[in-house]
Amino acid sequence: MENVNIPNPPQVPPNNYLVFAILTTLFCFLPTGIVAIIYATKVNTLWHAQAYGEAYDASRKAKNWSVISAAVGALVIIVYIILAVAFAGSLGNAGY
């Protein structure tokens, strides 16, 4: 995204979602969490460089990648539980 000239720049910087990105990296899904952290760390730097449009874009991307990381982590947990229940059920029917 280009550095757009904004006549009246916003007074409040966008949320960088860094905590959300770090938590989803640690507890959910590492690859997409790392992407979220990269975008989250760019937000404040871009804001102070007066690249307001790019700062908001990086904020949006950090949030989206964090949500993707959380969703993938939840999906992995759900699949694990389904497989564990199915495997436990098959052991019960094995006749041991």
Determine contact, residues 17/35, Cβ cutoff 8 Å.
Answer: no
For residue 38, pLDDT over 70 is answered with yes
Mean pLDDT of all residues belonging to the chain: 90
Question: 44-72, pLDDT tens digit by residue?
Answer: 999 999 999 999 999 999 999 999 999 99
Phi, psi (deg, nearest 5) at residue 85 = -65, -40
How far apart, in whole angstroms, are the C-alpha atoms of residue 34 and residue 6? 31
Which residue ranges make up each domain of the chain?
18-92
Q: How many angstroms separate the Cα of 24 from the Cα of each of 6, 18, 21? A: 33, 10, 5
- For the chain, the distance separating the N- and C-terminal CA atoms, rounded to the nearest angstrom, is 63
Report which residue type is found at 38. I
